[in-house]
Amino acid sequence: IFTLLSVLLVSLFGYFDGFKTDSNLPITFFSQPTVKRYPYLQHDYLLLASLDVLGELAIDLTFQSVKQIQPVEECIAHRVVNSSVEQFVTSLGLYQSFYAQLRAEVEKQLEQDPSFSLFEHEELYEPILKKLREVDAKAMKQRDFFWRRMCEPDLV
């Protein structure tokens, strides 16, 4: 199973070779995913992408969930990004299609009103959160859900 999963993932993420999201928190996919064991974590992970200062994206090879892994002082912080690779790819696509539109709307609003604050206009990013909940309700229940954080106003 591990070999089949590795072949499938390498071919899937070969498509994203060097792809970098256009957001304030960039996700930069590696050209070749590698298996990595992190100190203090129990399983092996397939390392997919860099999150710049916020760590790495990796697939837990035991549960096939996608996680954000970030060294914090003397330990490793990790949180579920999505419950499966399929849900991750779907969420990434939704986020990519949403982010450019939101960024353009914020720029438009700031031109009209320099005091505009996205914190006061949750209706602009609530639709994407609703769609992300539909894709992965289990992961979205977490308070520090990765995609919720990617949609928060201070990152736009």
Residue with tokens 């064991």: 37
The residue type at 78: H
Q: Please give the model's pTM, rounded to 2 decimal places.
A: 0.78
Secondary structure (DSSP) of 54-94: G-EEEEETTT--EEEEEEETTEEEEEEEESSHHHHHHHHHH
Q: What is the pLDDT along the chain (156 residues), one digit of tens a residue?
A: 444 444 455 455 444 444 455 556 678 888 888 898 887 888 899 999 998 888 899 999 999 999 998 877 777 788 889 999 999 999 998 988 888 888 888 889 989 998 888 888 888 888 888 999 999 998 888 777 888 777 766 655
What pLDDT does residue 2 have? 47
Which residues have C-beta within 8 Å of that of residue 14, sequence separation ≥ 6? 31
> Where do we find the tokens 């969420």?
91
The amino acid that residue 18 corresponds to is: G
